[in-house]
């Protein structure tokens, strides 16, 4: 690895410098080189001797700075292109992952969504709620079709219909859920996961409002 390569990597990765920074530095040093050339010419005409050596030395230094800055800028441009390509690949992979998550949730809504007035256990979701919400919010921020957006908003709010502790069987929202379920299941030797004693209707309503606020917080109207 050359000195310029090492300097470019140090500037790009550690110091967060850009190629534009070094292009500007090269331009500044070029102005300095021009200035020292004029000074050298003036001293050469007016004076003799050692005094002319100082502006000449500064000219040489400025010329080196111009060349090195341009070389480093070129190296950084290559690093920027590599970083941009890697970022694009990462974004594309994330997009495909989110699309797959939304697709699997959409298929669940078509085939196994809770019936009206029912609530399902959240373990029946194809992914954790947090992951599904993240994917839908991403889609809402990137999709342009209003019809798709409205469907996604409904699907987002519909996540409230899957709750923790419902059990293997869907439960009625307005029923006195859970009373005696645990004892009966144990006595009968059932392998089904019993429902917990919760007010499912209230939980669904509260989470629905929470989900709506999350969309507003994400600046999605």
Compute the average pLDDT of residues 85-90: 92
Assign 3-class secondary structure to the chain. CCHHHHHHHHHHHHCCCCHHHHHHHHHHHHHHHHHHHHHHHHHHHHCCCHHHHHHHHHHHHHHHHHHHHHHHHHHHHHHHHHHHHHHHHHHHHHHHHHHHHHHHHHHHHHHCCCCCCEEEEHHHCCCCHHHHHHHHHHHHHHCCCHHHHHHHHHHHHHHHHEECCCCCCCEECCCCCCCCHHHHHHHCCCCCCCCCCCCHHHHHHHHHHHHHHHHHHCCCC
> Which residue would you say has higher pLDDT here, 47 or 22?
22
Same domain, 7 and 57: yes
Compute the average pLDDT of residues 132-156: 91
Per-residue pLDDT of 28-75, as tens digits, reads 989 988 888 888 777 765 666 676 777 788 888 889 999 999 999 999
Same domain, 83 and 147: no
Looking at residue 77, what is its pLDDT? 95
Same domain, 198 and 123: yes
What percent of the chain lies above the pLDDT cut of 70? 86
Overall domain count for the chain: 2
Q: Which residue segment(s) compose the domain that 201 sits in?
A: 112-217
Last residue of a domain, one of 90, 123, 152: 90
Looking at residue 186, what is its pLDDT? 38
What's this model's pTM, rounded to 2 decimal places? 0.65
Last residue of a domain, one of 90, 121, 146: 90
């Amino acid at each position: 690895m050359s000195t310029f390569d090492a300097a470019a990597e140090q500037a790009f990765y550690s110091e967060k410098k850009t190629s534009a920074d070094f292009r500007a530095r090269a331009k500044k040093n070029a102005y300095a080189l021009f200035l020292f050339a004029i000074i050298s010419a003036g001293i050469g005409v007016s004076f003799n001797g050692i005094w002319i050596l100082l502006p000449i030395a500064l000219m040489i230094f400025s010329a080196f700075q111009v060349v090195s800055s341009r070389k480093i800028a070129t190296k950084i441009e290559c690093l920027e292109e590599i970083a941009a390509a890697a970022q694009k690949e990462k974004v594309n992979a994330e997009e495909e992952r989110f699309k797959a998550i939304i697709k699997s949730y959409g298929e669940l809504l078509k085939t196994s969504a809770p019936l009206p007035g029912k609530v399902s256990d959240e373990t029946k979701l194809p992914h954790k709620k947090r992951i599904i919400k993240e994917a839908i919010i991403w889609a809402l921020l990137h999709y342009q079709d209003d019809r798709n957006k409205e469907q996604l908003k409904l699907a987002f709010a519909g996540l409230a219909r899957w709750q923790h502790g419902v059990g293997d069987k869907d439960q009625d929202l307005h029923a006195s859920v859970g009373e005696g379920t645990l004892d009966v299941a144990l006595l009968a030797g059932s392998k089904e996961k019993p429902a917990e004693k919760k007010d499912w209707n209230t939980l669904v309503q509260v989470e629905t409002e929470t989900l709506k606020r999350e969309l507003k917080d994400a600046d999605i109207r």
